[in-house]
Structure formats: structure tokens, C-alpha cells
């Protein structure tokens, strides 16, 4: 709410600015990692945007009513509207029945319980041991940053390192196949697997240069790939 003393009254113009600022804060990076927090933040942003549009329209057609709403929203002590008073208003003007309002409350409690259970499951997953891949990538990034710095040249070097590692994969595979008659079979399938692991780790290190949360981005990207594959399967 507005940082004013109790003698001042919230104006529609002030409330409109607050709503606009709130809306901007809800989609500014970095966004919360917690899915429940992300969901509430997205909902808050949408509601703030809708409220702002409705208030602006009301200011143009009925300034007195807009001022009344702005004053109500500021609350009697400048700490926001009275929740119980608004619940009474909702029963009279929206639900129009105590029974309907009670059902909404029951539905809300059930939804809150499901959200809590989902949140607890997510927290258990997040508090488990970190992925060895991303732990190794973070350690590698920190070591390289300390040793080589973090400029554009270093970014290019880390990308070129990825190409080098890919070449070592092919070298190992050529060794598995004995493609070079002079050398014969020089590698085993496990050697190819190890080189592929190096490629994945090197890519994870390089990815840190292009996003603040590479692990989350990779998870989102992988989920999108799965969705595309499943969509292709459904269409076949």
C-alpha cells in the first residue's frame, strides 16, 4: 500500500501507479524457482493488470466511484482492504448466497491442501542431493572463471572446447571400429561413452555463459522435447 500517514487518502491515480508497478515486478527476472511461488506471482500479475484496466476505465466514467474504491483498497490504516469486510461484500454481490460462499471456501481449502502436498513433494525433491552433472559443471565454471576470467574470449574458448570434445568422441569411435588399418582396434565402447560424458559436461559448462539458471533451462528444454515427441506419437 502507499507509504502515507493516516490523514492522507489513497487516490485512484496513486493506486493505478501501484498496480502498474506490481504488475511489472511479477514478471521481472529472476523469477522464483518454487512452482507455487511462480504460480501465485503470475496470478498476482494478471490480477493487477486487470484491476488497473478496470480502474482506469472507471476513472474516466465515474471518478467518484474510482476514488471510493481507491480509498477502500488503501484500508482504514493504510495496510490494505479489510479481508472480512470484502468477504461479506462478496457474499452479498457475487455469491449472493451464504451456501455458495461456503462451497467456495471448501473448494479453496481443498485446493490449498493439494497445493501444500505438491509443494512438500517439490521441496523434498529440491532438498535431495544435487545432480552430479550440474555440481561438476558449477565447480568447473568457478575454477575456469578464477583461472581464465570471464570475458568474451573465454566464452569462445569454452564453445571451442565443446567442438574439441566432440572430435574426441569420433576419434574413440574410429578406434572402436578399427577404421585405421595401421592401428587397428584401439578403443572400447566404454571409451566412446566416457567421451560423450565429457561432451555433455563441457556443454553444461558452456551453457552457464548464456543463462543464469542452466539447470532449469535444460529441464524446460528437455520437457519441451518430450512433449514434441509425444505429440508426434499421438498423431501417427
- Read off the pLDDT of residues 160-196 as tens digits, 9 standing for 90 and up: 999 999 999 999 999 999 999 999 999 999 999 999 9
Question: Taking 90 as the threshold, does the pLDDT of residue 236 lie above it?
Answer: no
> CB under 8 Å, gap of 24 or more: what pairs does 114-118 form?
115/36, 118/35, 118/36
Q: Which residue has the higher pLDDT, 66 or 129?
A: 66
**Do residues 174 and 180 lie in contact, with contact meaning Cβ atoms separated by under 8 Å?**
yes
User: What is the mean predicted confidence (pLDDT) over 7-23?
Assistant: 89
Could you tell me the sign of the dihedral formed by the alpha carbons of 179, 183, 188, 192, in that order?
negative
Whole-number pLDDT of residue 75? 87
Three cell numbers at 80? Answer: 490494505
- Whether 2 shows a pLDDT value over 50: the answer reads no
pTM: 0.52
Q: Supply the pLDDT for residue 7.
A: 53
Tell me the pLDDT band of 4, cut-offs 50, 70 and 90: very low
How far apart are alpha carbons 172 and 185 in whole angstroms? 10
pLDDT score recorded for residue 233: 75
Span 117-166, pLDDT tens digits: 888 887 777 766 778 999 999 999 999 999 999 899 999 999 999 999 99
| Length, in residues, of the chain | 236
Q: Give the Å distances, CA to CA, from 41 to 30, 51, 66, 207.
A: 12, 15, 26, 27
pLDDT at residue 173 in the model: 97
Amino acid at each position: 500500500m502507499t507509504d502515507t500517514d493516516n490523514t492522507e487518502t489513497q487516490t485512484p491515480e496513486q493506486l493505478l501507479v501501484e498496480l502498474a508497478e506490481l504488475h511489472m515486478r511479477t514478471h521481472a527476472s529472476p523469477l522464483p524457482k518454487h512452482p507455487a511461488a511462480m504460480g501465485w506471482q503470475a496470478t498476482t500479475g494478471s490480477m493487477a493488470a486487470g484491476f488497473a484496466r478496470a480502474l482506469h476505465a472507471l476513472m474516466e466514467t465515474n471518478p467518484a466511484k474510482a476514488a471510493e474504491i481507491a480509498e477502500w483498497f488503501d484500508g482504514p490504516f493504510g495496510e490494505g482492504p479489510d479481508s472480512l469486510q470484502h468477504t461479506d461484500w462478496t457474499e452479498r454481490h457475487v455469491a449472493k448466497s451464504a451456501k455458495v460462499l461456503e462451497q467456495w471456501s471448501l473448494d479453496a481449502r481443498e485446493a490449498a491442501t493439494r497445493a501444500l502436498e505438491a509443494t512438500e513433494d517439490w521441496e523434498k525433491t529440491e532438498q535431495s542431493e544435487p545432480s552430479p552433472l550440474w555440481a561438476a559443471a558449477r565447480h568447473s565454471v568457478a575454477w575456469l572463471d578464477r583461472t581464465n576470467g570471464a570475458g568474451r574470449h573465454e566464452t569462445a574458448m569454452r564453445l571451442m572446447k565443446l567442438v574439441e570434445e566432440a572430435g574426441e568422441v569420433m576419434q574413440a569411435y574410429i578406434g572402436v571400429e578399427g577404421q585405421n588399418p595401421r592401428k587397428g582396434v584401439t578403443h572400447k565402447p566404454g571409451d566412446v561413452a566416457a567421451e560423450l560424458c565429457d561432451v555433455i559436461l563441457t556443454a553444461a559448462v558452456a551453457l552457464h555463459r548464456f543463462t543464469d539458471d542452466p539447470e532449469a533451462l535444460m529441464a524446460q528444454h528437455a520437457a519441451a522435447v518430450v512433449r514434441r515427441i509425444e505429440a508426434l506419437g499421438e498423431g501417427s
